[in-house]
Structure 1
Amino acid sequence: MSSSPRRKFSLEFHDEDTFSTFEKGEKDGKRDEKPPMDSALQKEGDKFRLSIGINEAFLGKTQGNGGKAPDNDSKDGYTRDRIFNAVAKENTEDLAGLERFLQRTLKKLTNTEFKDPDTGKTCLIKAMWNLKNGMNNTIPILLEAAKNTDNLETLVNAKYTNDYYKGQRALHIAIEKRNLQLVKLLVENKADLKVKASGSFFQQKQKGVGFYFGELPLSLAACTNQPDIVEYLLNNPYQRADFTAKDTQGNTVLHALVLVADDTKENTVFIINMYDKILKMSIQIDPEVKLEDVCNNDNLTPLKLAAKLGKIELLKHIFRREIEEPEYRHLSRKFTEWTYGPVHTSLYDISSIDTYEPDSVLETIVFRSRAYNRHEMIVLEPLNHLLQEKWDSFARLIFYLKFILYILYMSIFTATAYHRPLDGQPPYPLQGTTEDNLRVFREVIVFFGAIYIFICQIIYFWKRRPSLQILMMDGYFEILFFLQASLLLCSGIVYLAGSEVYVALMVFALVIGWVNMLYYTRAFQQTGIYSVMIQKMILRDMLRFLLVYIVFLLGFAGALVSLNRTAPQEAANSTDSGEKEEANSYSSLYLSCLELFKFTIGMGDLQFDENLKFKHFFMFLLILYVVLTYVLLLNMLIALMSETVNKVSNKSKNIWKLQRAATILDIEKFLPRFVRTKLRCGLLLPVGETEDGKTDERWCFRVEEMQWGSFGKAQFSINEEPGDKEKVKLKQQKGSREQKQETNDEEVPLNSMSTNPSDDEKV
């Protein structure tokens, strides 16, 4: 039994005009041609029409008029072209007999003959595209004709059928035209508010400007800044739009607003206003539904989607949303605890933000987002102070411990490489001496350390699956650690195989291991920023320089080798051994590259064999190489590095914080659940009342801020007096306990003296 949805069929009446329309389509090549086959029989397909046609001439036979169709005046006949031309020109007079024609012929405006064969466009959609002064007077005529032929709902909800505009209906066009009057007219005439325009035209594009507006009528109105239409769709008495409805990607209207946001000033203002308006209206319509908690097909709420896509202005607004209206106050994510002049203490709701919850906003920004402004999002409040508290409370101590262990490991690694055996072939036998046992012990530590690093990096790449962009932003140390461990493991395998090549692999891993020491500079701000600048210069300037330099090096080396091969005999007859040595400096491509590299760093020598046949041209090539590389490329590299430092200096601090955030979250991820629960940041505090009058308790994070623009503004705050009363209360309790203890200590000897009088008092 087929699992495909059931297809609805419709009944159509056909006449000569209908057949001529179909034949025209065949002549125009719009219908599929019969595929070439060896047999005259064709394979049966599933692309059949959803309409059953009845020949009108058949009615003549049943009515006893000799098998002829009923007589129709040609002036009263309507074809697709005639109707389309009339609605395009707003010719109401030409459509005066349309309703009578449809009733007489038992036809409907949604019949196949009245639709565009390529797109499925109906006369109503055609009229929607041809408005004059916001209206087309043929639209009421079409609706009235459809209503009297029992075809109103089908006509109003008729859609485009081609892949490009698939799903678009008259209501979408009315909203796109920003015409509230037509929207009301269509909704009053049974327009469906759950329809989706899901054609390729309405999908997101990787590059260029896209036309994705959420597919649904409500999303389209919201994303094009039409609050009057949004309010009508949600509050009309005929059929209310479902604000939780999802499109083909699972996005609600709030998700669509996030996707449309582009962080420009004009766009941000209307997106924020529309976002809050829909959020408040959702509470009015259904207080039980939490619209911001609805996830799309990627399991992302609007907040997490904004974080993943880097919509920083909207993300900042959601973090700082503070609504003072009592009926909507529970929608706030920020609460002013107290104010004193410009000093504010704010309570930020960190639900779905902190890593205590799975797939948090912090993890989304650090590990899943590919936005170019991730380093700017990570310094927004409360993320900035939240990460700092995690660092101060547990991450710093663990990171310092790992740093010390890595220094110890690299010291052992260096000692192992330095004190390697020099006699014999690997693997070296155990001699039983103390020195030899110590050597083996060091090798075992180094080898197991490499296994540990290798496994950790495999887990990182498997869980995080970072893109190249994320690796370049967060630093290339993950790649270097993986390379270090891989080389060391390969060195161990080659050692056991009995080859001395293990020494080269081990030494290369040693070099990379000491370079990886820069990873631990992110624990300190100054060294962390310096490391970021080094990283940017290597990834930007050095790579571009090396690419151009290698082209020059290989080109000139190949030319000089070719010139040197033209005079081998003259060089052989020379009695000067120094000249012979110089002649051999350009005897191969490898030696030529080494000699030219000396020129690049200012250590080359222009002396060469005087017996060369093209010695003057040889000298010219050497001078030209020096000018292009030593003079031009090196100075250009210095200029580029200086420019990079100037550009990156303002961003380096934020990039360093982003790199440190990744370190903090990695450390936290490896902690046991009960430890993470104990170290959870923030406090569970009452911030007001919910919509049903109960106490609204949130897990909040307290941030002290300076807001110089708040003077003269009446702001609602939870506490009247400023100050952290909780800390003061704890100090008072601690002080009272200490004071009580001191009082008891003082009272004990006094009581004993009063109850035990001295001998003098007894006398």
Structure 2
Amino acid sequence: MTSEAPNLVEPKDFIFSSLVSINPVFTKPMDSHVTEGDGKHEEMDSPCSPVDESVRFLLEENSRENEPSNANHEIHNHEILLLSAVSDGDKELLTRLLKNIKDRSSSFSKSGAQDYLLNKLTAKDTGKTCLMKALLNINSNTPEIVRILISFSENNGFWDQFINAEYTEENYKGQTALHIAIERRQFEIVKYLIAKGAKINVRASGLFFNPVDKNNGFYFGETPLALAACTNQPEIVELLMNDNQTNVSMQDSFGNTVLHALVTASEGSEAHNTFIINMYDKIIRKCKNKSLEDIRNKNGLSPMQLAATTGKLEILKYILNREIKDKENRILSKRFTDWAYGPISSYLYDLHDVDTSSENSVLEIIVYNTDINNRHELLALEPLQTLLRMKWQTFARIMFSVSFLFTFTYNLAFTLLYYQPHGDKTPKALNFSGTTGIFELFGQVFIMIWATYLIVQKVIWNDVLKFLLVYVLFLCGFGVALASLIEHCPDDADCRRYNTFGRAIMELFKLTIGLGDLEMQQDSKYPGLFLLLLITYVILTFVLLLNMLIVLMGQTVDDISKDSENIWRLQRARTILEYEKCLPTCLRNKFKLGNICNISEKDRRLCLRINEVKWTEWHNQVTCLNDEPKLNGTSCSDLRDIAGPDHPKQMSQITIQVYSADG
């Protein structure tokens, strides 16, 4: 363990940096300078404040007197000084205090002395140890403070209980010093703790780590491995993965593995998703358990299904299109390149848990999950998009046409029968002499009005209503101004026509729609000013406001068109799946998509072939097919030598045997 000062982490790197903007919700902060409640918390868990040198001297003097009347006071003072020493990085004071409590333990038996010393270094109400306190207050002396504390616990025989002590307070229950060291991004300290026996397979299951809502904590998984992975610490992940004690398949309170935690932690930003995907890929490659990705959580979801359920587009795209070339990890691939010719590549996509042939498939999750807003983007991913298109062409299109014909025929027959007179009887008409006809008329009018509202509500509320509010303000303002400029001529009827507020507004409205004239200005007191106001009104309303309304409505129509297209795609996908459910079992098996592919001796999968044309990639990367050891006497490496050092690296292909769906 080195004593060099650790690199201080920028605020953006801290896991809990976003708590700055969140109101405190925990009555027992881990190590905050702000406490809530009545202030009766024990000092062992209260914020650490600098201790004045004179007070420190007096406290140390009192600790040497050993008077019975001052026993409780001395113990309390030692606890304050211990926290102050470890958080401030005061090595000399910490050494003296540890020696002092060691001397006090000499009167106990061996086991009693160990319990006494452990209690002196641990808060009674939260379970927080001085080691945790030191790690919560990183400074240049923290590595040495950690070494002193652990050496003290080793020399006195309680190091295992001390280094693996867990928080007992409900909000941070289960958190250990290893969790805190990882959260503080202290690689060397993490390495030292593991070397000294820190348990790796522990879970921090407090309320803070399993928040009911996102403003009351953070979920990065409960294990040290999940915490390191979700906070982008590849060195620590590598360290933990290389340790034989690490149980990579360990599940937390939700049944989630580290892969589930990574999916949950992914967000919308490109940089964030990049490191999440890289970490995900790193873990599945390093893990000895190649079935790690198949583990379900308590909701019965694999990481891929969880990504679909939560609408995590980028990581779902990575999982569906993951192709690994090396033989050891080829089993982890979800896509295989069968052949390539020029810009055309033929891919085989693994349909396990993707198509409806699997229970709780990704396709069904996306189509029926209305809680995510980007379903149309998820359905555009391969192989989902091709799956839906092939299902439509195979059976859904025919079933839809038949269903449409039956429905149309039924409605036509029903209409003809309803309005066809029988004998001398005439078609039924509304009778307004009684209450029945009035209610029927009211119902029909209500249906028409409500249907019209549903059609145009988005345009009305977003554009027209805003335009009307602004227009009414202009209309009223100019109406008052113009009415006040009209001369009062009681004997002249033409003059009296315009000298009221209502008549002035009516004339202005007629001007707006192009039906008005300028006769009203003839009786104004100030014709020049009156004409200027009219021209200004026409420019503001007829020219600016109306054209602005046209632009706004055009934008709204474009937005509605896009939304309607997305809605149509989703409805089409749902229709396809509904028709598929209606098929009998024999027909469902007949229309089952995909072929059985023999990936290796013991690896047979149901795969869907998709041919893609990629001109851009073809210009940048030429694929070499190794069907034979030599190609006309020239190997792939020879081709690279001929192409020169700047030629893109060639990709070796795999040979896949494809069988029919019936085996």
Please state if 1:350 is matched with 2:344. no
Q: Which residue of 2 aligns with 1:667?
A: 579
DSSP-derived class of the 1:200 partner: coil
Distance 1:435 1:185, change over 3 A: farther
Q: 1:137 aligns with which of 130, 133, 144?
A: 144
Inter-partner Cα distance in structure 1 for 2:243 and 2:131: 22
Amino acid at match of 1:226: Q
Distance 1:506 1:135, change over 3 A: same
Amino acid at match of 1:391: W
Q: Which residue of 2 aligns with 1:11?
A: none
For these two proteins, the number of residue pairs brought into alignment is 559
Distance 1:242 1:321, change over 3 A: closer
1:219 shift after superposition:
0.3
Please state if 1:91 is matched with 2:91. yes
Q: Which residue of 1 aligns with 2:239?
A: 232
Please state if 1:280 is matched with 2:280. no
Please state if 1:212 is matched with 2:212. no
Structure 2 counterparts to residues 281-430 of structure 1, below 5 A: 281-282=286-287, 284=288, 286=289, 290-368=291-369, 370-404=371-405
1:716 shift after superposition:
1.9
Please state if 1:101 is matched with 2:114. no
DSSP-derived class of the 1:351 partner: coil
Structure 2 counterparts to residues 327-726 of structure 1, below 5 A: 327-368=328-369, 370-404=371-405, 433=423, 436=426, 439=427, 498-506=436-444, 509=447, 542-549=460-467, 551=469, 630-643=542-555, 656-689=568-601, 694=602, 696-707=603-614, 708=618, 709-712=620-623, 713-719=650-656
1:152 shift after superposition:
2.9
Structure 2 counterparts to residues 119-134 of structure 1, below 5 A: 120-132=127-139
The Cα offsets for residues 18-75 of structure 1, whole Å up to 9 and x where unpaired, read as: xxxxxxx9x984159xxxxxxxxxxxxxxxxxxxxxxxxxxxxxxxxxxx96999x99
1:128 shift after superposition:
1.6
Amino acid at match of 1:680: K
Question: In 2, are the aligned partners of 1:272 and 1:317 still within 8 Å (CA)?
Answer: yes
Distance 1:500 1:654, change over 3 A: closer
Question: In 1, are the aligned partners of 2:179 and 2:227 still within 8 Å (CA)?
Answer: yes
DSSP-derived class of the 1:219 partner: helix
1:82 shift after superposition:
1.7
Please state if 1:259 is matched with 2:259. no
- Alpha-carbon RMSD across the aligned residues, in angstroms, is 5.3
Q: Which residue of 1 aligns with 2:48?
A: none
Inter-partner Cα distance in structure 2 for 1:514 and 1:387: 33
Inter-partner Cα distance in structure 1 for 2:215 and 2:38: 35
Amino acid at match of 1:394: F
Question: In 2, are the aligned partners of 1:379 and 1:654 still within 8 Å (CA)?
Answer: no
Inter-partner Cα distance in structure 2 for 1:600 and 1:669: 58
Inter-partner Cα distance in structure 2 for 1:152 and 1:393: 68
1:151 shift after superposition:
3.5
Question: In 1, are the aligned partners of 2:78 and 2:97 still within 8 Å (CA)?
Answer: no
DSSP-derived class of the 2:318 partner: helix
1:650 shift after superposition:
8.4
- Normalising by the residue count of structure 2, what TM-score does the alignment of the two structures yield? 0.67
Amino acid at match of 2:441: V
Question: In 1, are the aligned partners of 2:320 and 2:334 still within 8 Å (CA)?
Answer: yes
Question: In 1, are the aligned partners of 2:201 and 2:250 still within 8 Å (CA)?
Answer: no
Q: Which segments of 5 or more consecutive residues in structure 1 lack a partner in the other structure?
A: 1-24, 33-67, 420-429, 444-490, 517-534, 564-569, 612-616, 728-763
Distance 1:344 1:253, change over 3 A: same
Question: In 1, are the aligned partners of 2:143 and 2:189 still within 8 Å (CA)?
Answer: no
The structure with the larger Rg is: 1
Question: In 1, are the aligned partners of 2:267 and 2:312 still within 8 Å (CA)?
Answer: yes
Identity %: 37
Distance 1:110 1:666, change over 3 A: farther
Distance 1:496 1:264, change over 3 A: farther
DSSP-derived class of the 1:101 partner: helix
Question: In 2, are the aligned partners of 1:668 and 1:676 still within 8 Å (CA)?
Answer: yes
Distance 1:168 1:211, change over 3 A: same
Inter-partner Cα distance in structure 2 for 1:405 and 1:81: 84
Moved more, 666-675 or 709-718: 666-675
Amino acid at match of 1:243: S
Inter-partner Cα distance in structure 1 for 2:199 and 2:91: 25
Inter-partner Cα distance in structure 2 for 1:131 and 1:375: 46
